[in-house]
Amino acid sequence: MEWTSEALVLGTRPHGEGSVILEVMTAERGRHLGLVKGGRTRRTAPILQPGNTVLVTWRARLDAHLGMFTTELVTGRAARLIESATGVYGIQLLTALLRTLPERDPHPALFEAATIVVDHLNDPVDAGRLLVRFELAVLEELGFALDLAACAATGVTENLVYVSPKSARAVSAAAGAPYRDRLLPLPAFLAPGGEALAPTAADLVAAFQLTGYFLERHVAEPRGEPLTPARAQFIERLRSAAKA
């Protein structure tokens, strides 16, 4: 069996003396692994860095096998990403989110979104805006979408300022006032009609607290695995930007 596709590099792990198992995200084949012979050589290792886009060809006798990759660099980003803490933590968070997806399960919309995000990881606020929406998209793809279109209690679509931790639905200021201590804040840029709003760093910290609650409940806790430490480190960069 054989196929060829553009892929976003998620990472590698050593295999044998000089080879690696490469993990990539593709549009048609989803998150996929394969063996790269000589993947730790001076020529090949820089190509197989997280954040780079490569053209991969996968070959195996049977579809169930690990298979082998050959790779060719399409877009190199890794060198730029490691120049800033935002880039380092951002790409670690992005790859960790993609690893929550089942292996070989296609998610073309997430692949396209990931390639956009990875090109905007130099500025904390710009990167944060894209990453928090990416977290919402991952939750939706995993079957845990937040319903932010209308108030869960009244059906109104205006002045939505809370999210119910139980139903994952938006709640208006009036309906949520008696229960505000038990509700999660909904930043205005995530509410209906807020797409054009430019979030502040503080808005983004609140947004990550919202998505983090549901990622913990639906992804981390059932798997018995904590969210990547890079997420907290990225949010700390946002807090620093908010104070600046």
pTM of the model: 0.95
Count how many Cα atoms sit within 13 Å of the Cα of residue 3 in the half-sphere of its side chain.
Answer: 14
Decide the pairing of beta strands 2-15 and 19-26.
antiparallel
Token code pair at residue 4: 């060829």
Q: Which of 208, 207, 202 is nearest to 233 (CA)?
A: 208
Q: Which of 36, 42, 44 is nearest to 20 (CA)?
A: 36
Q: In what order do the strands lie in the sheet with 170-172?
A: 170-172, 160-163, 184-185
The per-residue pLDDT for 242 is 77
Beta bridge partners of 19: 15
The per-residue pLDDT for 240 is 87
Count how many Cα atoms sit within 13 Å of the Cα of residue 15 in the half-sphere of its side chain.
Answer: 17
Angle at 219 between CA 110 and CA 78, to 5 degrees: 45
Domain limits, the chain: 2-76, 81-148+186-243
Domain spanning 2-76: CATH 2.40.50.140: yes
Token code pair at residue 78: 């890794």
Per-residue pLDDT in tens (0 to 9) along the chain, 244 residues: 999 999 999 999 999 999 999 999 999 999 999 999 999 999 999 999 999 999 999 999 999 999 999 999 999 999 999 999 999 999 999 999 999 999 999 999 999 999 999 999 989 999 999 999 999 999 999 999 999 999 999 999 999 999 999 999 999 999 999 999 999 999 999 999 998 999 999 999 999 999 999 999 999 999 999 999 999 999 999 998 877 6
Distance of alpha carbon 88 from alpha carbon 231, whole angstroms: 11
Q: Which of 218, 10, 14, 215 is nearest to 103 (CA)?
A: 10
Residue 151 near residue 170 (C-beta atoms within 8 A): yes
